[in-house]
A and B are shown apart, each in its own frame.
Chain A
């Protein structure tokens, strides 16, 4: 007899900013059993609340959700992640009946926010409505307060981070905020936590549309676990297991790449022709020695930071110690930021890169998209699609970090050219016209990231089939995609599974499932978990399909099929369209989706419990 739901509080905090009212809503246990939490449960709530397609993502109706998972709050190593789920302001299909058609967006953020949501007594926070003037939300267990944020509006995320905590007078609060980019509705604005951890891919724009500067919380609660003793012993095992992997002399992705931070990918990726360089035209960066791991380590890093209960600490902070940018204090360039503001713009000045990363984070914009947008504009300028006047007088040349900084400021403020540039490459190329969309490197309207696809068609599949638009984290095949959708829904960090790409070290063969079984009292096998991942991925797809996204949207920018790599070992190589199409056919087949339309097939949906039987 079990009438208590273990592992969950079973309730959401629902806040309506239009009315200022809030309530706690019960989560049906069927939902947590099917969709876990995080990305999955967020998707289910989005599906339930947006009942028709075409709802404007920037309208009060669009819910903005902060979703921890069933692992969150427990001291499971690296169970630190939270998903922000909402309808995307960045994406659009080729054809649709609805002017505001867009995909789901989910964005994963590390740090301490998700665990603290659970400490406050909730399995998620759902924000709807729109405040009439800027506000922030303070939550302390049951107590919820909406306060005036006028004095913080317009403030960069770094200064805000320092001043807001003074205002609260208590360092135990965990906060997510937006910067000017979010306030000004830059479509790829992000949400920032601890001044440098970011949830990107457009979620900050939705937060800005609600006039919500920040949300902060702390709490004293904790959900119960079903089998306390089993949980404790699994916890102990996984701590030991991870320690072993981390301190073993042998090679593992976990102890090599992750302990050195993602910056360790910089040189690796360039040496292996997988880097985004020169607005994706090249795959290797001649100046990589100046911005790669050694340079970053030598010139910038000196502190490591870890997320909640994480033994890895992939976040490397530091400061610029010399040169014109001396005194800049920030996270050192990591793979995405270092590539998108570095190699992609052919900038080889590590100090300048650190400065522009700081500024991007301070404005609160997604640096993947911003670097992609600036790369696109640099190419358009080089090819004379646009002139200096179009760029408000900025001489936007390759390698010029100051020109890039000026663009970042324009975008953050949505000033002049920044107004257009703040809408993403798809919108800019539409405006410029003349087939410039060929080198607008986006899928479904979302910009590609720092992994190039010329050598790695699997990465191409990842970008093309992702449910939020171009996403390098999506996975190169169905199996990996389902696995990651599940991880994003548990609240654990992907990096911790890197030693084998399958489980939490030390927790046994079915480690993830065993932990969840001990927590929830429901037996979770690996198969059942992966099936949950598949269910989640399919519900996202159903949502997108309803909006009008079809097979024609699951593609890659034309560049990769028609323009060979310009230089380096891959020179002359490009992707073969037939090969890509074949892979996509296979992909749909494995998914059980219609290969012509990409519509999810009934039998599979039925099996996943996504159709009424």
Chain B
């Protein structure tokens, strides 16, 4: 029942399990219009945006063969996105990886899988959000920033149910972390167009490039990626 379109109008390489909820979220990413179906009362409503030009979103890609697990990416992401106010001036933070939007999962045998939001065209995270569409903005509590394609949370509307986190964890990359009020946090912002992780990775393992859902390992959970790669590279354990 779910239809997925992405900027190339091609199918996802991995089918998405149907949402538990009654909502259908269909979105032509950046396509002529973002068509949003949501349940309002008992009717399906359509919200559209007037952006005509095709938009190709960019995301952070990982070359797992180059990643050394140094976690510099985590630290610079945390610094940039979790700033610190010093003498009333907002400065880069000190970089505790706890606050990072990219998270490196380490495995044994040695393998490090940085997980970062894949900007999924079908955004299971948004689909799972039970908050109704705002008719003016066409947004749920979790919504896509039209300009960058990144996911944002409206804390005023979010009810802290955690559905988005679970959807991402089960179906995709498991990048959403719930904050102390159970609202989603730490989803990649792309750093105002200048991804810090890409810029600072000492091993050139990261790149800032088009979302390509056909790419191997696109949108997969790090545990799944690690199994495949351990199998491929070490060929000893599952």
Contact = CB atoms under 8 A, between A and B. Distances in A.
Interface string B102-114: 0101101111100
A75 B75 contact: yes
Contacts of B95: 74-75, 222
B92 interface: yes
A221 interface: yes
B200 interface: yes
Nearest to A116: B97
Given A304-B68, A313-B203, A319-B234, A74 B94 contact: yes
A435 interface: no
Contact of A311 (B70, B110, B233): B70
Contact of B202 (A219, A221, A231, A311): A311
Contact of A194 (B86, B92, B108): B108
Contact of B108 (A158, A246, A309): A158
A87 B125 CA distance: 53
A571 B106 CA distance: 48
Contacts of B70: 306-311, 313
Nearest to B72: A309
Contacts of B108: 158, 161-162, 194-195
A329 interface: yes
A75 B93 CA distance: 11
Interface in A207-243: 218-222, 224-225, 228-229, 231-232, 239, 243
B69 A306 contact: yes
A219 B97 CA distance: 9
B98 A219 contact: yes
B98 A329 contact: no
Contacts, number: 96
Given A222-B96, A228-B84, A239-B200, A329 B109 contact: yes
B72 A228 contact: no
B96 A73 contact: yes
Nearest to B93: A222
Contacts of A218: 98
Contacts of A308: 70-71
A228 B79 CA distance: 12
Contacts of A232: 91-92
Nearest to A228: B86
B187 interface: no
Nearest to A328: B236
A112 interface: yes
A75 B106 contact: no
A247 to B, nearest CB: 10
Contacts of B75: 75, 309
Given A75-B76, A319-B109, A309 B71 contact: yes
B111 A311 contact: no
B105 A220 contact: no
A119 to B, nearest CB: 5
Interface residues of A, number: 46
A194 B111 CA distance: 11
B97 to A, nearest CB: 8
A119 B96 contact: yes
Given A74-B94, A119-B96, A305 B233 contact: no
Contacts of A329: 109, 234, 236-237
A304 B204 CA distance: 13
Given A305-B112, A319-B109, A319-B234, A225 B94 contact: yes
Interface string A108-131: 000010000001000000000000
Contacts of A311: 70, 72, 202-203
Given A311-B70, A329-B236, A194 B106 contact: yes
A327 B96 contact: no
Given A228-B91, A317-B109, A75 B72 contact: yes
A423 B162 CA distance: 55
A494 B86 CA distance: 32
A320 B213 CA distance: 35
Interface string B58-78: 000000000011111001100
A33 B40 CA distance: 64
Contact of A317 (B72, B97, B110): B110
Nearest to A242: B202
A203 B155 CA distance: 49
B94 A319 contact: no
Contacts of A317: 109-110
Contact of A303 (B86, B110, B202): B110
Contacts of B97: 119
A319 B236 CA distance: 9
A2 interface: no
Interface string A286-299: 00000000000000
Nearest to B73: A309
A251 interface: no
B92 A220 contact: no
A12 B103 CA distance: 28
A218 B92 CA distance: 22
Nearest to B94: A222
Nearest to B223: A171
Contacts of A243: 202
A613 B198 CA distance: 54
B17 to A, nearest CB: 22
Interface in A581-612: none
A246 B112 CA distance: 22
Nearest to A165: B108
Contacts of A331: 110
B158 to A, nearest CB: 21
A390 interface: no
B96 A220 contact: yes
B220 to A, nearest CB: 16
A98 interface: no
A245 B94 CA distance: 24
A319 B109 CA distance: 9
Contacts of B112: 305
A306 B69 CA distance: 6
Nearest to A330: B109
A493 to B, nearest CB: 12
Contacts of A75: 72, 75-76, 79, 94-95
6 contacts: A171-B105, A172-B98, A194-B106, A196-B110, A317-B110, A319-B109
Given A73-B96, A229-B91, 11 more contacts: A195-B108, A220-B98, A220-B99, A302-B233, A303-B110, A304-B68, A305-B69, A306-B203, A319-B235, A327-B236, A329-B109
Interface of B: 68-72, 75-76, 79, 84, 86, 91-99, 103, 105-106, 108-112, 200, 202-203, 233-237
Interface pairs A-B: 7 shortest CB-CB: A311-B202, A306-B70, A75-B75, A306-B68, A317-B110, A329-B109, A313-B68
